[in-house]
A = this chain, B = another copy of it.
Amino acid sequence: MFEATFNQASILKQVLEATKDLVNDANWDCSAEGIALQAMDSSHVSLVSLSLRGDELASYRCENQISLGINMNTMTKILKCAENNDRTIIRADDDADVMVFVFESEGRDKTSKYEMKLMDIDSEHLGIPEQEYSATVQMSSKEFSRIVRDLSTIGENVEITVDKEGITFGAKGESGSGTVSLKSNPSVDEGSSNITIDLTDSVKLNFALRYLTFFTKAAPLSDNVSLSLSADVPLMVEYAIGDVGFIRYYLAPKIDDDEDTEE
């Protein structure tokens, strides 16, 4: 039997908001350690990896490893029936064809129980190799969302450049072009972006803004986002989920003629 308790429904709600537009159906792999989900988006371009550690949840048990096939939109719909502060239990028997959701209101005089049908989903577990990155940038998740949104109005792709100076995002389109630059080690004033950069080699890589836009749906989970880049390997965009786990997105760089003129 699998059972996990969250002190608040909001974490699960935010996790679903961060994944449902990218992935329609996915297996939630539950083991003694916790919950893991790994899936490619429907166009097989980007990859999302979610990890929630059982011992950091309000309570957790999972005797036998179990893979729960879930339609992400249905789960989103059911989680919308919970108030953000509701204590939330998700549960499935070992041979279950349903997942059970229990939402308890703070005063405990309201209890909601939902059952969601499970699905059989072909599981294609992808090994994600541990990777050393040339550059890792920590920045405000809101700022990252804002930049992705702004440059999406200019063009389809963004060129991300990281060097000692900072990080620069650039886009080009029919009506013009735009670049947004954030300096590293900024003064820690209130208005500052507070970015930190861990750099071994400068990088300049191109990515499709369409997928970065999907990734920024995770911004409510964390004040910060980390971007890890190396030439010729997928960008990793990571949002921590408190102390409980993380959600990571991977996106391969675009091979672009402009790359030949790399500085």
Binding site for B on A (CB under 8 A): 71, 74, 77-78, 80-81, 98, 105-107, 109-117, 143, 150-151, 153-154, 175-183, 186-187, 189-193, 195
Contacts and interface: CB of A to CB of B under 8 A. Distances in A.
A177 to B, nearest CB: 5
Given A107-B186, A114-B154, A115-B178, 4 more contacts: A74-B175, A80-B153, A81-B151, A113-B179
Contacts of A143: 110
- Where chain A touches its partner, the secondary structure class is mixed
A150 B109 contact: no
This protein's copies in its complex: 3
Contacts of A181: 110-113
A176 B113 contact: no
B80 A191 contact: no
A31 B43 CA distance: 52
Contact of A71 (B175, B177, B189): B175
Contacts of A177: 114-115
Contact of A179 (B78, B112, B116, B180): B112
